[in-house]
Amino acid sequence: MEKTSRNIILIGFMGSGKTSVGLKLSYKLRRPVEDTDKLIERREGCSVSEIFARRGEAYFREQETKLLEDLVRTGHECIYSVGGGTPVRPCNRPLLRQLGTVVYLRAQPETVYERLKGDTTRPLLQCEDPLGRIRELMESRREAYETCAHLTLEVDRMAPEAIAEAIETYLPGAHG
Ligand code: S3P
């Protein structure tokens, strides 16, 4: 088995818990965790919101693809939580699946809305009707998430610890 195939990739909408689950999983499996938004921020020297404001969303999406291409090449045994929009670009989907086992954390729009009410760090949700936007975006992304995922978990009523446990159970060999 290729080394990169043992990475675990967490995908899902903003607020689905990818970052917190990644951290829990990292303790459990004793593997490093990386958040791709943070890696892009480090490369660019500014926050995701600043990248959107200064360079636009299309530029940010290009950086997501470039980063995935680099990660596929470097292939550490890692857990990656990726930005909610990463699976939307069709070329990113095979890259994500090549990078490792893709786990989709699926949450309902209302769950996401409750969690992200008042958040100012997601440029796509800074609008008059964030719940409407969440519903719309989620619907348009549904197929992207589903075609990308090796494993899907319904996470609305689950705490990050329980989600991490479920991933550990469903991915035998995750301990390496
Ligand atoms: C985005 C999700 C964000 C971040 C950017 C765009 C999206 O990541 O990449 O704001 O398009 O859904 P999180 O899912 O970690 O919030």
Atom 12, ligand 1: which residue's CA is nearest? 84
Of 156, 155, 82, nearest to 164 (Cα)?
Answer: 155
Only one residue has tokens 């990248």, namely 51
pLDDT tens for the 176 residues of the chain, in order = 444 348 999 999 999 999 999 999 999 999 999 999 999 999 999 999 999 999 999 999 999 999 999 999 986 789 999 999 999 999 999 999 999 999 999 999 999 999 999 999 999 999 999 999 999 999 999 999 999 999 999 999 999 999 999 999 998 666 65
Gyration radius from the chain CA atoms: 15
Pairwise CA distance, residues 22 & 27, whole Å: 9
What was the pLDDT predicted at 6? Answer: 84
Spatial contact of 82 and 10, defined as CB atoms under 8 Å apart: yes
Of 99, 96, 80, nearest to 6 (Cα)?
Answer: 99
| Distance (Å) from CA 46 to ligand 1 centroid | 15
Based on the number of CB atoms within 10 Å of its own CB, is 73 exposed (0-12), middle (13-18) or buried (19 or more)? Answer: exposed
Only one residue has tokens 């995701």, namely 48
Atom 11, ligand 1: which residue's CA is nearest? 85
SS (H, E, C) the chain: CCHHHHEEEEECCCCCCHHHHHHHHHHHHCCCEEEHHHHHHHHHCCCHHHHHHHHCHHHHHHHHHHHHHHHHHHCCCCEEECCCCHHHCCCHHHHHHHHEEEEEEECCHHHHHHHHCCCCCCHHHCCCCHHHHHHHHHHHHHHHHHHHCCEEEECCCCCHHHHHHHHHHHCCCCCC
- Largest Cα separation within the chain, whole Å, is 48
| Distance (Å) from CA 167 to ligand 1 centroid | 22
Atom 3, ligand 1: which residue's CA is nearest? 83
| Distance (Å) from CA 6 to ligand 1 centroid | 24
CB distance 75 to ligand 1 below 6 Å: no
| Distance (Å) from CA 107 to ligand 1 centroid | 14
